[in-house]
Amino acid sequence: MAAKKTAKKTTDTVAKKAAKKAPAKKAAVKKTAGEATTKKTPAKKAAVKKPAAASKLKKAPAHPSPDVLARAAYLNYRRRVEQSLPGDAHGDWLEAVAQLTQG
């Protein structure tokens, strides 16, 4: 009696494994003459909203080109000279970098 139960268990597990490996066959559906063959369009996925905290984070500012920096430094120099303020070219350049990277 015990031998029959173990034999049945092994055949059941073999059948289950074979069923998992074999692709499931789809039942054939007959279409009537009035039915049109149309393709179903896949449903659109809902847009995933980003958390509020992530959108508030500031991105690193882009580095301005050397030409843009040079023009801003020149304008700083002109303003400094017109207003008779102390300073040098290096300070004008650093001020231009600060102005352009702040936004």
Which tokens is 68 given? 């843009």
> Measuring CA to CA, which residue among 67, 90, 92 is closest to residue 77?
92
- Identify the segments of the chain with pLDDT beneath 70: 1-43, 49-61, 103
- pLDDT recorded at residue 62: 78
- Using DSSP's 3-state secondary structure scheme, residue 53 falls into helix
- pLDDT recorded at residue 45: 72
- For residue 55, the Cα-to-chain-centroid distance in whole angstroms is 13
Give me the residue label for tokens 């991105």: 59
Rounded to the nearest 5°, which phi and psi values hold at 34?
-80, -15
- pLDDT recorded at residue 20: 65
Cβ neighbourhood burial of 99 (10 Å; 0-12, 13-18, 19+): middle
